[in-house]
Chain A
Amino acid sequence: MSTVRLSNVSKSFGNLRVVSDVNLEISDGEFLVLLGPSGCGKSTTLRMIAGLEETSSGDILIDEKVINDDDPKDRNIAMVFQNYALYPHMSVRKNLAFGLKMRNMKTSTIAEKVNEVADMLQLSDLMERFPAQLSGGQRQRVAMGRAMVRTPKVFLFDEPLSNLDAVLRTELRSELKKLHMQLKTTSIYVTHDQVEAMTLADRIVVMKNGKIEQIGTPKEIFHNPKTLYVAKFIGNPQMNLHEMQVKKINNSIFLTASSLSIPIPKAVINRTNTSYLKDGATISMGIRPTDIFINNAGNKKGAFKAKMILTEMLGAETLIEFGIEDLNFKAIVEDDYGISSGDLFEVGMNFEKIHIFEDTT
């Protein structure tokens, strides 16, 4: 079992800096997800850990040993690729055995290990098939098996599920989770899919332009995004975000835009960096669609007059889009109470769940 540490790792291709000063510690058995849009440097980071790319500066350590100059084969890692990269000219059995064969393992040991992994992943019936004869999900399993068979110190996943259709992706996602719970191997997983990140990760690293935006558990990332970027990236539908002015009246802080005024509870201020909450400053206010509700209880306090723009039935819930003054919001509600577009109604907000960001859109 192993730990991985990245210390001031940077990578440039010519003048293009794709990863800059990444510091990261992955503890033993942890499932860490690198999350971000394409081009944010997450794959490059992973490939540097794998040894497929060289670091431009900084150190990568596995078990506190610097491995910058080790070949991939000497790092004792395994990797699952987006397109699986199964050798097309080898049967499933040979694909699984290849890594062991390259390490000059005894044939009998290889067979034993390969069969063991095949059993675990229900591949036993497919052993003599070639990758072209397998379905996407089966290929994915073989790719997993190829990584597992060597019992490496660290698993690296490079968007392994993104080539699959939605149903299969969900299925394999939970399978992956179960496997990790069973094997407890340190894993680093790259994806642009926030749902994958949320469901799989012990901790998520959100990356942007080669830099780490935020590291935290899925809960932390969701409930307490540190930057506007993270707030926008996590959550579907996206967090409602609006530019507002800070107003200090007595000891209370309000956020205002035109005639709309929102009181900020102490709890929010406590978890926000107050240095930018200066009177008159422009900030971004965010609230998740799930933290807004239709106020039909007649409770006037903290309620806003809203005009319905659109309602979309999602099944168990309804997505509503409405305007307060000239600000548009989206909310997920359990019931739209028959309000249709153009109707006026009242909404309430869970003020405790408001987020404040220094930068503006």
Chain B
Amino acid sequence: MLKFLWISFWGKSVKQRRSRMGYLFLLPSLFFVTLHFIIPTIYNIVLSFSEWHIIRPLEFVGFEKYIDVLTSDEFWEALSRTLYFTLLSVPITITSALIVALALYRIGPRKGSALVRAMYFAPVVASLTAVAYIWTWMFNPAYGLLNEILKFFYLAPIQWLNDINQVIPSLSIMYIWSRLGFDMLILMSGLTAISPDYYEAARIDGANRWHSFWNITLPLLNQQLVLVCVVEIMMALKVFELPYAATNGGPVNASRTLVMHIYETAFQWNRMDEAAVASLALFVIILIVTALQHFFLSRKIHY
């Protein structure tokens, strides 16, 4: 390979000069891939096997930090909370996005339909920090809009973010609200790409709407569905802004997620080594999700 690069760089022919330009154009990207991913990954792994001190250099301690982290309740609680949040949020987000996408697709382009689509999509542009505050105010037990509505229907007020058991579902509501539009958009783009011929053919074959949905829409939407699943799972697994801004992990750590755990371990308790182990755990989980995506996408059916 080195010999080849050498020839490619110093060769004189048109083709060699052109491929030299190719490498040259690629160089900045490769530089940043190294700087953003390769070095940090190595650094992180090294860190996870070390004892970190603010001033002194790293000290190799083997699996000590792994044992520390993997035996700590805090880590497992943060992880299980994050998984709970993910399992709660992602299916609802995607199902409702699919319903909205199907409905908007059914309605078709007509006067004002772009505006209706924009309504569902608008929350996407707000940062998650802003989302956290918008909803904390909505959830406010005393003056919030939601309890006011409950009161209107003679229902008991809910403590929302202030209740250990309700805080994660409440964060899920925020998350679903802010992510629905994006998924809907992706699913819509998939729906509009499906040729109407398939539906016509199915109708002629005597399929009803339900059959069409299961046998045409869903299989042909496979790629977009897998995609939103992966994006949402990743977004949910790394959720940080919502609990950080809305509850600061409270009440009594009931909303302390994995990334929040990493953040606090590293930057508030200055235990970089343990945070590195936790980061690697997140990394591995995300790798698994990515691998699953490849598995599902490779089964992509070609029509």
Flag A164-181 by CB within 8 Å of B: 1 or 0 each.
Answer: 000000000000000000
- Scan residues 154-213 of chain B and give those whose CB is less than 8 A from a CB of chain A: none
Q: Min CB distance, A207 to chain B, in Å?
A: 23
DSSP class of A's interface residues: helix, strand, loop or mixed? loop
Interface positions, chain B 6-25, Cβ under 8 Å from A, are: 12-15, 17
Interface size class of A (residues with CB under 8 A): under 10
Do B17 and A71 touch across chains, with their CB atoms under 8 A apart? Answer: yes
Residues of chain B within 8 A (CB-CB) of A63 are: none
Return the chain B residue nearest A71 by Cβ. B14
Chain B residue numbers with a CB within 8 Å of A69 are: 12-14
A71 to B13, CA, bound (A): 9
A54 close to chain B: CB less than 8 A: yes
Residues of A within 8 A of B15 (CB): 54
CB distance from A214 to the nearest CB of B (A): 30
Q: Is the interface of B mostly helix, strand, loop or mixed?
A: helix
**Which chain B positions have C-beta within 8 A of A51?**
14
Contact partners of B14 in chain A: CB under 8 A: 51, 54, 68-72
Q: For the complex formed, measure the closest distance between the CB of B24 and the CB atoms of chain A, giving whole angstroms.
A: 15
Tell me the complex Cα distance, A29–B14, Å: 27
Q: Nearest Cβ distance between residue B16 and chain A, in whole angstroms? A: 9
Which residues of chain A have C-beta atoms less than 8 A from B12's C-beta? 69
Q: Are A54 and B13 in contact (CB under 8 A)?
A: yes
In the complex, how many angstroms separate the beta carbon of A10 from the nearest chain B beta carbon?
15
Q: How far is the CA of A258 from the CA of B223 in the complex (A)?
A: 67
Question: Contact between B17 and A68 (Cβ–Cβ < 8 Å)?
Answer: no
**Distance from A82 Cβ to chain B, minimum over Cβ atoms (Å):** 22
A69 to B15, CA, bound (A): 9
Interface centre among B12, B13, B14, B17 (most CB of A within 10 A): B14
Residue of A nearest to B11 (CB): A69
Within 8 A of B (CB), among A55-75: 68-72
| A68 neighbours in B (Cβ, 8 Å) | 13-14
Alpha-carbon gap, A302 to B302, bound state (A): 65
CA A51 to CA B15, docked complex, whole Å:
9
A68 vs B12: C-alpha distance when bound (angstroms): 10
Interface string of B265-298 (1 = CB under 8 A from A): 0000000000000000000000000000000000
Which parts of B105-145 form the interface with A (CB within 8 Å)? none
A71 to B12, CA, bound (A): 10
List the B side residues contacting A54 at CB < 8 Å: 13-15
- Note all chain A residues with C-beta closer than 8 A to B13: 54, 68-69
Closest residue of chain B to A75 (Cβ to Cβ) is B14
Q: Provide the residues of chain B in CB contact with A72, threshold 8 Å.
A: 14
Contacting B at CB under 8 A, from A28-87, are 51, 54, 68-72
**Which chain B residues lie closer than 8 Å to A70 at the CB level?**
14
Q: Which residues of A contact B (CB under 8 A)?
A: 51, 54, 68-72
Q: 6 A-B residue contacts at CB 8 Å? A: A54-B13, A54-B14, A69-B14, A70-B14, A71-B17, A72-B14
User: What 7 pairs across the A-B complex have the smallest Cβ distances?
Assistant: A54-B15, A69-B13, A69-B12, A54-B14, A51-B14, A54-B13, A71-B14
- Given known contacts A54-B14, A69-B14, what 11 new A-B pairs fall within 8 Å (CB)? A51-B14, A54-B13, A54-B15, A68-B13, A68-B14, A69-B12, A69-B13, A70-B14, A71-B14, A71-B17, A72-B14
